[in-house]
Amino acid sequence: MQPPIGGSTPMPKLLRAEVARLHQAMKLTLDPVAKRELAARALELAQEAEAIADLPADVEALHASIAHYRHMLAEAESISKKQVLTHVLQRAEDKLEQMSRHQLPPKPHRLAVA
């Protein structure tokens, strides 16, 4: 299993840069097996980058996305798909935690006195 790019919370920009690097390596490689492996890895990273970039910005939708990715992970059969989903799920959970820390507590309602 490949480690995520950029630590435990890969960013789409870093992932896209790695995809571009892999595409360059594919152009320079003559071995068809190596090209296929590079292409497969590039596809995984591209999917991961786009899924992370598309994570919602509001807490409620993010909870729904996390539940969706957990379900997909439980149903995934291939190792590469599980790997991508695990990284996306981790990033979504990190984003939710960050949003929760920065969220202000709700203001108490005040009754108007006439």
In a domain, 81, yes or no: yes
pLDDT digits (tens, 9 = 90+) for 20-64: 999 999 999 999 999 999 999 999 999 999 999 999 989 999 999
* pTM passes above 0.75: no
- String of b and e for 35-72 (b: at least 16 CB within 10 Å)? eeebeebbebbbbbbebbeebeeeeeebeebbeebeee
Structural domain of 41: 12-102
In a domain, 114, yes or no: no
pLDDT digits (tens, 9 = 90+) for 57-110: 899 999 999 999 999 999 999 998 999 999 999 999 999 998 888 765 555 555
pLDDT, residue 8, reads: 47
Domain count along the chain: 1
pLDDT, residue 111, reads: 60
In a domain, 89, yes or no: yes
